[in-house]
Amino acid sequence: MLYPSIICWEHSEHNTMVIMGLIFLLIPITFIAGCCFATYQFPKRTSSLDSHFLLMFAFIFFRYKHESYWYSISFILRNALLALTPILPGPLPQISAMCVLLVSSVIVTASHYPWRVNMVNYLDLVVTALVILMLCISGMFISDVDPQDVGILCAVILVVTLVIFVAAMTMSLAGKILKRIAKDFQYMLCHHKLGAGAFARLLKTVLEIRSTSARKVRVFIDCDNLQNLETLFDTVGFKTETVVVLKSRELLRRPWCLGELVTAHLNVPRLKVAVVEFPDYVAPSDDFIENVVGQGVDVSCLGPHGMDQGMIVAMLRWVVGLRGAKIPSDITNDMVEELRDLLISKTSEGKVFTGGTNDKWKSRVGGLKNAIVSEAFSGEQLATGLVLCKFLAKHCAHDASMIPDIVASDASLPSSVISCIMLWSSGCFSSSGFMRIAIQTTLMQTNTIPIFAETGFRFPGATMLKSSILSLAPDLNLQDIEGGCQINVEADALVSLISELFKEIAITFCPQDYSATETLMKVTAEAVVARVFVKPRLSGRAPSLAGARSSSTCEQAKEEVPEQAKAEGAEMSEASKPGVEAEMSEV
């Protein structure tokens, strides 16, 4: 007893000590509450690519794997409760409480291996186990143990065990009952793969971010959840709460999409329907509606499921009258998240979104380090880039400055970029902005990672590539990053520059592909992360500008660029070959 002269709750000194203790107790409570709030916000902020938030709270998350971000709260609460064990009366309750906390920590750590460095997981388990062993041994040396205290402790342990057992049985039974009543999916995305596959994947990703421990949001998308076509219409009609119709140009020409819509039409109003209209959608004509079979749409596969032409005609007239949200081709992350909120609140009808730019990276402290370059006015390409951003952002919790962001082809690549992930598709070679950025990455000697974002994409031959460059020649004025001057380069030199990019083995990332499951895309994203966080091999990608002509107003560029190109061009053949051979051996 430190202060035997002070009697609790009777002397004014004790009241002062209690007040001061409560005031100082607010400091750790506020800290723990802030950490809990940051952990609750982490999935949402990661999805919205909020690098400012992640930088602010990096001290909480950087030590753990992205899928175990919640472990930070478990770790903080464990330490806080361990610090409070001395307030328990007597050594026996204190040792027992510490053992319970540490055993619980061992179970959680062994179940999830949350630490980012795998060796730390083993170290944590070994150290905690040794502490538990030491506590158990020390309990044997406690003298003057009151048998009544031991009996109370045993009774508490028995009651807690019984309560946990009854609670587990009740929750299990309630879960089975609710599973029979509740539907398996909150949303089902009806879409045409080639026209809206990437956007559907993006919408599913942002919808599932709203999952909570009390209610998990599940979104049905065929490539993830459909294993047998025979169960498709049963899932739409009886296991889904809301069908989200993504109206793209070819949606109403796909027989299985028509079957999904017929099923939805037959189950309205019990089944909710929301519509997202794409800019290329054209409402079907009366002739198409009345004679859908004669328009080249094979609906024979719907007959065995009890659907006839009359049902299809009635459904088409119903679909034409549905009003929903209209989206532009230049989609942004903020627009998709607003659309998600409207779908959840069931207020998306009549909403018209306007085009925007993915330029939030301009406000980043230190600038953008990892850029994902996409065509500016291709909705599917922008959606592919945003999907890749969200998959990669989960791996950047330890360093929020490395979170990638979209740089559309109508913008200029910032000089702060270290790694550039380029989404190649067949339309890239007709986009002057995309080709300008491709050349710019080579001149800047960034760590460029080519991504094939289109099924069956093939890099064109030198003749076809040169033809594309010549057709875009008036717009291919390269901005010198350091000198601020314009450089016009000959077509042969540009072909050589762009060909340099494809010495890096490309990765295929196609969310709109029929086989693009979420598991496969996570594996692909991990492969991209492995390349993003490697040190760029600058010597293996030197720009070849020999023979280029400069029409720059900057005299320095006229003198220095050709000389630098000659020196670098002489090293390129020797420097690039070992890099490519080493990379091929790694693959």
Residue 556 has pLDDT above 90, yes or no: no
- List phi, psi (to 5°) of 421: -100, 115
User: Do 167 and 227 belong to one domain?
Assistant: no
C-alpha–C-alpha distance, residues 306 and 304, integer Å: 6
User: Do 204 and 328 belong to one domain?
Assistant: yes
Residue 280: CB partners within 8 Å, gap ≥ 6? 195, 248, 249, 329
User: Do 228 and 284 belong to one domain?
Assistant: yes
C-alpha–C-alpha distance, residues 488 and 474, integer Å: 9
Task: Tell me whether residue 553 is in a domain.
Answer: yes
- 252-265: b (≥16 Cβ within 10 Å) or e: bbbbbbbbbbbbbb
Number of domains in the chain: 3
Q: What is the pLDDT of residue 486?
A: 47
Q: What is the pLDDT of residue 540?
A: 45
Residue 111, Cβ density class (10 Å: 0-12 exposed, 13-18 middle, ≥19 buried): exposed
- State the number of CA atoms in the 13 A half-sphere of 478 facing the CB: 29
* Cβ atoms 292, 299 nearer than 8 A: yes
User: Do 405 and 497 belong to one domain?
Assistant: yes
Q: What is the pLDDT of residue 534?
A: 63
Task: Tell me whether residue 6 is in a domain.
Answer: no
C-alpha–C-alpha distance, residues 49 and 173, integer Å: 39
Highest mean pLDDT among 261-265, 532-536, 581-585: 261-265
Residue 177: CB partners within 8 Å, gap ≥ 6? none
Residue 188 has pLDDT above 70, yes or no: yes
What's the mean pLDDT in 517-532?
A: 88
Whether the CA torsion 135, 138, 144, 147 is positive or negative: it is positive
Task: Tell me whether residue 352 is in a domain.
Answer: no
Instruction: Report which of residues 458 and 267 the model is more confident about.
Output: 267
User: Do 429 and 406 belong to one domain?
Assistant: yes
User: Do 402 and 336 belong to one domain?
Assistant: no
Q: What is the pLDDT of residue 514?
A: 84
Q: What is the pLDDT of residue 468?
A: 76
User: Do 202 and 268 belong to one domain?
Assistant: yes
Residue 577 has pLDDT above 50, yes or no: no
Residue 553 has pLDDT above 50, yes or no: no
Q: What is the DSSP letter of 227?
A: S
198 Cα distance to chain centroid: 13
Q: What is the pLDDT of residue 569?
A: 40
Confidence of residue 550 (pLDDT cuts 50, 70, 90): very low
> 253 vs 244, 305, 316, CA distance in Å?
17, 18, 11
Query: Domain end: 176, 210, 245, which one?
Result: 176
Task: Tell me whether residue 137 is in a domain.
Answer: yes
What's the mean pLDDT in 76-80?
A: 92
Q: What is the pLDDT of residue 122?
A: 93
What percent of the chain is predicted at pLDDT more than 70?
A: 85
Query: Domain end: 345, 374, 395, which one?
Result: 345
Task: Tell me whether residue 354 is in a domain.
Answer: no
Task: Tell me whether residue 2 is in a domain.
Answer: no
Q: What is the pLDDT of residue 233?
A: 92
Task: Tell me whether residue 105 is in a domain.
Answer: yes
User: Do 171 and 189 belong to one domain?
Assistant: no
Average pLDDT, the chain: 80
Residue 484: CB partners within 8 Å, gap ≥ 6? 554
Q: 3-state DSSP helix/strand/coil percent for the chain, to nearest 5?
A: 60, 10, 30
Confidence of residue 498 (pLDDT cuts 50, 70, 90): confident
Confidence of residue 474 (pLDDT cuts 50, 70, 90): low
Q: What is the pLDDT of residue 229?
A: 86
Confidence of residue 272 (pLDDT cuts 50, 70, 90): very high
Three-state secondary structure readout of 359-420: CHHHHCCCCCCEEEEECCCCHHHHHHHHHHHHHHHHHHCCCHHHCCEEEECCCCCCCCCCEE
- Identity (one letter) of the amino acid at 417? V
User: Do 156 and 189 belong to one domain?
Assistant: no
Q: What is the pLDDT of residue 267?
A: 92
What's the mean pLDDT in 473-488?
A: 48
C-alpha–C-alpha distance, residues 152 and 154, integer Å: 5
Q: What is the pLDDT of residue 431?
A: 83
Query: Domain end: 306, 321, 345, which one?
Result: 345
Q: What is the DSSP letter of 446?
A: -
Of 68, 401, 80, 128, nearest in space to 60 by CA? 68
Of 562, 515, 528, nearest in space to 543 by CA? 562
Q: What is the pLDDT of residue 213?
A: 54
Highest mean pLDDT among 138-142, 277-281, 404-408: 277-281
Residue 504 has pLDDT above 70, yes or no: yes
Q: What is the pLDDT of residue 572?
A: 34
Query: Model confidence over 121-136: pLDDT tens digits?
Result: 999 999 999 998 998 8
Q: What is the pLDDT of residue 479?
A: 44
Tokens of 117: 């460095």
CATH for 485 = 3.40.50.10140
What's the mean pLDDT in 513-528?
A: 88
Query: Model confidence over 5-25: pLDDT tens digits?
Result: 667 777 777 778 888 888 888
- List phi, psi (to 5°) of 211: -65, 145
Q: Peptide bond before 269: cis, by omega within 30 degrees of 0?
A: yes
What's the mean pLDDT in 359-371?
A: 81
Instruction: Report which of residues 119 and 486 the model is more confident about.
Output: 119
Of 2, 12, 70, nearest in space to 36 by CA? 70
User: CA-based angle 43:46:52, to the nearest 5?
Assistant: 125
User: Do 187 and 115 belong to one domain?
Assistant: no
Of 441, 435, 540, nearest in space to 481 by CA? 441
What's the mean pLDDT in 459-479?
A: 69
- The reported pTM is 0.73
Q: What is the pLDDT of residue 168?
A: 85
Residue 335's domain comprises 183-345
Query: Model confidence over 439-449: pLDDT tens digits?
Result: 888 878 888 89
Residue 551 has pLDDT above 50, yes or no: no
User: Do 189 and 45 belong to one domain?
Assistant: no
C-alpha–C-alpha distance, residues 44 and 50, integer Å: 9
What's the mean pLDDT in 29-56?
A: 85
User: Do 157 and 237 belong to one domain?
Assistant: no
Tokens of 555: 């005299």
Residue 485 has pLDDT above 90, yes or no: no
Task: Tell me whether residue 302 is in a domain.
Answer: yes
Kind of pairing between the strands at 478-479 and 486-487: antiparallel
